[in-house]
Structure 1
């Protein structure tokens, strides 16, 4: 679903932070598991949409936004073999390249209020690694003993959400504590895979998991697991959240069309960019309720897409 220019950073050796401690949290069944987030659909907020594209490329994804409106993302051609490059964007069109040193591809996904970013890159051996970056310093982030890692979001408390793949290519969710390099791994009962996609400042985690051949979103709220399943959807993914109770993501309807959603307190609002109805994905939201994402054929595996900002 997510894929992965050149100056502005000083080349500096990245430091790999190996796990100093693994905390395994198993989310048990019972009332916590039974609580569901698919209680209703609302249509409360009207958004003003702005399309954003990196000049000269056909593929732009906006993936994270902080409270200052600075945006993380990446651009490319969408074509096989064409490397995708990360950026940080100040609207309307000031793109600053952000690429892990010596990487072949970089995707910047999360950005916090201090300008710290997180994402993943692909090295010359085609291996995926997570990373964080503050000012000019990059840090490689890999769960010990694994060869595929991606960080998908971060908060203002030095924590990042992500996952690793095992040898069977099943995903395992984790939270990375930047102070100390500690990972906390999370499992969901009966799920074949799970991905942590976002974490807010109070430690609420959103993401998605596969169970019985169906993909569900989730919100882990202080020990209670809320399953997010957009009404009548065939697939739901929670991809980002803020500090005021809103979760964003994407769902697939019974016709196979892809829509964005905003969730809060048990209710959903379906959100499509007017230029991308049925092919919209929302990946990030800040505390002001501004959303970012992308629309177009790439939402369902195509090679072109446009980034967007939605302002309430």
Structure 2
């Protein structure tokens, strides 16, 4: 797939902390991105066969179809590590008894079925660290449970007391994972899975939100995600958990939002809505929430809508569109020297 590099720049005044932040922008093609590694490789999902969603990998200027598992119809890439290993899940679009959703790993050009775990019939992989440890969730009729897959062995990461549902969306190298846990009487709560323990991040008790989910974690143990009161499409807010404290990242200008990724420098990316309801990709740095559309020169019709990940050199992957009704494209934002 041909790629278009838009060598555009913008700047934003950020008090005395940053005189200017500049980015070049590369259009990676028509797909919905989900993650980026430190080499700048990007994963996501696109309709590359013209019919069904397929997991894709952008690498060295090319967009590659990862494919689907046998007897499945669709696949979704959800995470990538610095070795270029990709995880996700492949599923049927209909549900006859013999076809289920299976987690996969894509490594060295090969797509491998991870199967199902812990006696359940569906599995979903969401993140992989540089040691090859994979986290996700596995489902059955009675609930779902977060898992850690390492060296061919699977461990149930557990639940909050009384819980029956959990999922892990992010992992750090030491094996700590972040996600959520809930039960029939307890709403989704953002948690840290740590060496057999499940720690409630305290979103409800600290900030008063009924539901919360953790979506990203860095090496310092800082965790980001979203919190809400009624449903995920309603009045949701981004949060940052750091050193035992939780911070609401919403502002008067951007009253709702969600955080999807954090790098090891503590830079947070996600999405936010303006007072008028416009969705924009955002960067949270040095105490400020910044619209990424203001950090690049205007491109006709383009709106960056959700920033899905940021790596340790500051490269950001975002989804965006060139106008209402146009297909979603992935965009790579690369910091430019001042």
Q: TM-score of the superposition, structure 2-length normalised? A: 0.63
Q: 1:154 to 1:120 in 2, by over 3 A?
A: farther
Identify the match of residue 195 of structure 1 among 208, 213, 222.
213
Unaligned runs of 5+ in 1: 1-38, 54-58
Contact 2:304 2:318 in 1 (8 A): no
Structure 1 residues 271 and 137: alpha-carbon distance in aligned structure 2, compared to 1, 3 A threshold: closer
Residues 1:161 and 2:178 are matched in the alignment: yes
Q: Is the 8 A contact 2:209 2:228 kept in 1?
A: yes
Alignment equivalent of 1:65, drawn from 36, 41, 59: 36
State the 1:209 CA deviation: 0.3
Deviations 1:7-26 (A, max 9, x none): xxxxxxxxxxxxxxxxxxxx
Q: Shift of the alpha carbon at 1:96?
A: 5.4
Residues 48 and 65 in structure 2, CA contact (< 8 A), matched pair in contact too: no
Contact residue 119 and residue 152 of structure 1 kept, 8 A: no
Deviation of 1:305 after TM superposition, in Å, equals 0.6
Alignment of 1:244-263 (within 5 A): 244-263=265-284
Change (3 A) 1:235 1:91: farther
Q: 1:200 to 1:133 in 2, by over 3 A?
A: closer
Structure of larger gyration radius: 2
Q: After superposition, what is the alpha-carbon deviation per residue over 1:20-77, rounded to whole angstroms, capped at 9, x for unaligned?
A: xxxxxxxxxxxxxxxxxxx999883121110112xxxxx5022211111122212127
Residue of structure 2 equivalent to 1:50: 26
* Equivalent in the alignment of 2:224: 206
Do the aligned residues in 2 keep the contact of 1:209 with 1:216 (CA within 8 Å)?
yes
* Alpha-carbon distance in structure 1 between the residues aligned to 2:19 and 2:257: 18
Q: Distance in 1 between matches of 2:82 and 2:35?
A: 11
Name the Cα RMSD after superposition.
Answer: 4.0
Gaps in structure 2 of 5+ consecutive residues? 1-13, 93-98, 102-121, 145-164
Match of 2:124 among 120, 124, 129: 129
| Residues 133 and 289 of structure 1, relative CA distance in 2, 3 Å threshold | closer
**C-alpha separation between the residues in 1 aligned to 2:200 and 2:67?**
28
Tell me what 2:157 maps to.
none
What's the offset of the Cα at 1:92? 1.0
> Would the alpha carbon gap of residues 195 and 222 (structure 1) be closer, same or farther in structure 2, given more than 3 Å must change?
same
Answer 1 or 2: higher relative contact order, Cα 8 Å, separation at least 6.
1
How many residues of Structure 1 are paired with residues of Structure 2 in the alignment?
263
Does the Cα contact within 8 Å between 1:43 and 1:270 map onto a contact in 2?
no
TM-score under structure 1 length normalisation: 0.68
Cα 1:187–1:106 shift into 2, 3 Å: farther
Map 1:226-245 to 2 at 5 A.
Answer: 226-245=247-266
Aligned to 1:265: 286
Question: What is residue 112 of structure 1 aligned with on the other side?
Answer: 81
Offset from partner CA, 1:141-187 (integer Å, 9 cap, x none): 3389524876543333334433467669954434456xx77655545
